[in-house]
Structure 1
Amino acid sequence: MALVSTKEILKDAYENHYAIGAFGAHNLEIMKGIISGAEMMDTPVILQTTPGTINYVGIRFLRAIAEEMAAVSKVPVALHLDHGNSFDIVMKCLRSGYTSVMIDGSHLSFNDNVALVKRVVDAANPIGVPVEAELGTIGGVEDDLTVDESLATYTDPVAAEMFISETKVDSFAPAFGTAHGMYKREPKLRLDILEEIYNRTNCPLVMHGASGIPDSSLQNALKFGIAKVNFSTELKVVFAKELRNYLFDNPGQDDPRKYFLPAQEAVKNLVMNKIGLLQKKVYAK
């Protein structure tokens, strides 16, 4: 089938208190592992590419690979721009055929963030592409952006309600204690903030920085509108680990068709595990 929009799959997840896995897609092997895992779990999946991955692989190649994989996939596949850092990169993705985009204006003032997001919504909605945006500051390392976790700010639920109302975004990423990258200690999620945002809005919510979040915390967040959960660092970690292990055990092997396979399989298994957590529906009280 063709690449699908995230709008309807997130709407169903939001209404039924489960979430769709959105996985960082950095190369062909990781993309194959992601889709294989989603097929094994028989669930839609979102391939996410950051501006850094787009610069590395090339936007035409990413879109072409994703389209071809979606065409033969047994499950719906969406192609999403994660943390779009400018209006220009969003427009490039829209013109290329991406089926979902995120514009990240969280570093801007509230009014400037709203203005940027509205501009993207005005460009994307007429062609049926949903828009994700962020308010508040999520710490850690994402692509070429590093935010000191001590400087991260929680999303104000009242401001979130105003932001969603003014921008008409299709999904919203609040800052409630998660961080990009791997955690040095167990994160303290502010589910009280997430619950208030959920109660004030009617918009699918997105968890960024889910790599390393305890399973119970991940599932508890599903009660409060989390319909999309982003994973990237964990995929890179298991891919690199299995690649290193294989080359260490097989020092004479020089065929990428062989040494990439265990790494790809590790990604598939991780994706299956994460999707299994997200598909366990936890109904709100």
Structure 2
Amino acid sequence: QMHPQQPPIQWGGAIMWRGTTPGVPVRSGASFVGVGSLRHRVVLYPISPPDPATGLATINWIAEITVDNAEGWTQGDWNRRVELSDFAHHFEGWDFGWLDVPSMLRGAKEVFEYPMIDRDPVPTWVDGHVALLGDAAHVMYPVGSNGASQAIVDARVLGASMLSHGVTPAALRAYDERLCADISALVLRNRGAGPFGLLGLVDERCGGVFDDIEQVIPAVEREAYMARYKAAAGFAIETLNAAPSTIAPGARIAA
């Protein structure tokens, strides 16, 4: 209604299968792991603390491939429950010792299929007394784990704007001016590769096969790449921790 001329939902050809499986968290115990290439990968991370008795946490995983999107999304549903046999063959042999992908996929009680979709950014999130936030404002590819967190940031910035301008259209305009342009750029950045661009670099340079990652992408280059993404997405830890609260504790809008 706010942007009736906006183009249709954009699907770039990526299909995701998502599930959760009990497993042992890897590396730090809270690490986000991406394995594979830009067009064929698995991502996983724990979403619960390990059980003290078993050491197993709930591991959230996403298995993904990219296919030709010339005919558009033909499945009808934007999410649907599927059988393991519908997609597991794409990941046969993905057993790296420290990570057995086929076993992880089999351990899920249920799996759902989603096309990876977004929409073109809009020039404004505000129309008079109405403001969009979260996915309504900036639905984006889930490649940087920042869709839900950005919705929280939106709400905090909107609240801070109301503290400064009252519950007025001016507050909505200030919120829009603060976030819309920058987050629109992030939508387009995620449509590219987001943080998974590192996997693309590895693939380009050695076909994904190496003995020493330092000979392919040195640590300083990896860290610089991720620092650029974190800064664009608002995830720069030192900057976040040093910043004042978006809304001061106890702040209230005057009646």
What is the TM-score when the length of structure 2 is the normalising length? Answer: 0.31
The structure with more radius of gyration: 2
Greater RCO (CA < 8 Å, at least 6 residues apart): 1
Give 1 or 2: higher helix fraction. 1
What is the TM-score when the length of structure 1 is the normalising length? Answer: 0.29
